[in-house]
């Protein structure tokens, strides 16, 4: 199982993620929780996956984080513990 890529993201994807953080008003504390989780070097499936936090949901596919959702939006894929 792959690990999440934290460097060398495609520029368009990085801009998309930054836009979602801004547009969905993702709080800094939630990004801190994401960073702490990423520090554990979690393994993720090849396909679509998501990880719920108290104030957001992170969605990805394979080794890439693809978007951020608010808690009232429905993610698609395998839920990670």
**How many other β-carbons are positioned within 10 Å of the β-carbon of residue 9?**
14
Q: Is 12 a residue whose pLDDT tops 90?
A: yes
* Residue 52, domain extent: 11-79
- Domain count for the chain: 1
The answer to the question of residue 17 being in a domain is yes
Q: At 10, is the pLDDT very low, low, confident or very high (cuts 50, 70, 90)?
A: very high
Q: Tell me: the pLDDT tens digits for 15-69?
A: 999 999 999 999 999 999 999 999 999 999 999 999 999 999 999 999 999 999 9
The answer to the question of residue 4 being in a domain is no
The answer to the question of residue 45 being in a domain is yes
Say what the pTM is.
Answer: 0.92
């Amino acid at each position: 199982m792959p690990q999440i890529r934290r460097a060398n993201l495609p520029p368009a994807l990085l801009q998309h993620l930054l836009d979602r953080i801004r547009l969905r008003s993702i709080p800094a504390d939630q990004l801190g929780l994401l960073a702490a989780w990423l520090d554990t070097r979690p393994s993720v499936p090849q396909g679509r996956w998501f990880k719920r936090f108290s104030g957001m949901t992170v969605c990805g596919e394979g080794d890439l984080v693809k978007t951020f959702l608010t808690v009232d939006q429905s993610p698609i894929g395998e839920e990670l513990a």
